[in-house]
């Protein structure tokens, strides 16, 4: 089935809101690569605008019980070396101009990367994770996956994934794709609160495919039901036909020149994730635009 033009339904203004989105604490995992620095630059922009603190996290996948950070002795001598090297790199990155005036916490965790990120989120009550990603393709995407994908799938904290360097990230057009079913209501409220805080217009989006078809009336009713008790902001309601849901989201986002793509994620793991797949993870892999996910 070929892509069709989207159906623009109407523009609505909603009059009340119950959820306030705060960006007090941002977590940025780093391996000190250019990709991680791209994410840190975006976090710095958000922190400067919203008076946030940044927790810059580096993972050392070493046995914690063999490490004494206060001693020069260790059952694992290379652990001390890598800790000192990480500290040196922290010092270097703290000197970057884009971090001047921002409170940045140097944080090290010794678990596997994805587990360490989730643990750090809980420990410091993080409001948003900002991660860099290069995406994955083919067999690597299917069988290995990336740390970013694992965090997107399992994090209770919203995750913002950055692919490219953005000198400025001014989010004005925010595409939010959903099936707009009952389980999507909680993450949708978080997304609307974020859009309000960023002063961004939300384009609510339902994708029609051959195997996942909504009539215009049904899709319209679903979206209107969601925003009936939502918050003050502008929404456009849109239906877009495409070959797959992922392609539909990407093509529609290009059409409206979206600054940000958002959606909820199920958090499937194991065989359920393997057989059902995850549209949010596919978007993280393939979208060139920033993607933010909210856990159901």
Asked whether the whole model's pTM tops 0.85, one would answer: no
H/E segment holding residue 292: strand 291-295
The dotted CATH code for 25-126 is 3.40.50.620
The crossing angle, in degrees rounded to 10, of helices 279-286 and 245-255 is: 50
* Cα distance between residue 260 and residue 242, in whole Å: 20
Q: What is the pLDDT of residue 159?
A: 93
Q: What is the pLDDT of residue 16?
A: 38
Q: What is the pLDDT of residue 108?
A: 82
| Predicted confidence (pLDDT) per residue in 66-121, tens digit | 545 444 444 556 667 777 888 888 899 999 999 999 999 998 877 677 788 899 99
* Cα distance between residue 296 and residue 259, in whole Å: 23
> Number of helices and strands (H, E) in the chain?
10, 11
Give the lowest-confidence range in 125-129, 227-231, 268-272: 268-272
Percent of the chain with pLDDT over 70: 76
- Identical topology for domains 7-20+166-295 and 25-126: yes
Q: Which is nearest to 30 in space by CA: 106, 102, 98?
A: 106
> Do 177 and 212 contact (CB within 8 A), yes or no?
no
pLDDT for residue 296 is more than 90: no
* Domain limits, the chain: 7-20+166-295, 25-126
Q: What is the pLDDT of residue 85?
A: 82
Instruction: Please list, residue by residue across 89-126, b when 16 or more beta carbons sit within 10 angstroms of its beta carbon and e when fewer do.
Output: ebeebeeeebbeebebeebbbbbebbbbbbebbeeeeb
The dotted CATH code for 7-20+166-295 is 3.40.50.620
């Amino acid at each position: 089935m070929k892509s069709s033009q989207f159906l623009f339904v109407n523009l609505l203004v909603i009059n009340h809101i119950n959820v306030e989105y705060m960006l007090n604490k941002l977590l940025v995992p780093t391996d000190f690569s250019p990709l991680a620095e791209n994410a840190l630059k975006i976090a710095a922009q958000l922190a400067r605008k919203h008076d946030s603190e940044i927790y810059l996290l580096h993972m050392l996948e070493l046995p914690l019980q063999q490490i004494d950070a206060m001693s020069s002795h260790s059952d694992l001598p290379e652990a001390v070396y890598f800790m000192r090297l990480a500290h040196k790199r922290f010092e270097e990155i703290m000197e970057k101009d884009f971090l001047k005036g921002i409170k940045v916490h140097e944080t090290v965790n010794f678990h596997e990367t994805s587990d360490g990120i989730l643990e750090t989120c809980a420990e410091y009550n993080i409001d948003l994770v900002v991660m860099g990603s290069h995406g994955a393709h083919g067999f690597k995407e299917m069988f290995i996956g990336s740390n970013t994908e694992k965090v997107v799938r399992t994090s209770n904290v919203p995750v913002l994934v950055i692919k490219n360097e953005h000198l400025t990230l001014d989010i004005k057009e925010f595409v939010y794709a959903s099936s707009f079913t009952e389980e999507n209501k909680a993450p949708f409220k978080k997304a609307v609160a974020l859009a309000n805080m960023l002063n961004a217009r939300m384009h609510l989006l339902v994708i029609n495919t051959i195997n996942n078809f909504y009539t215009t009336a049904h899709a319209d009713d679903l979206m209107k039901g969601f925003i009936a008790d939502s918050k003050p902001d502008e929404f456009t309601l849109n239906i877009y036909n495409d070959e797959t849901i992922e392609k539909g989201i990407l093509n529609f986002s290009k059409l409206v020149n979206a600054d940000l793509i958002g959606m909820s994620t199920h958090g499937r793991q194991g065989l359920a994730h393997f057989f059902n797949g995850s549209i949010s993870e596919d978007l993280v892999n393939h979208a060139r635009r920033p993607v933010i996910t909210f856990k159901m």
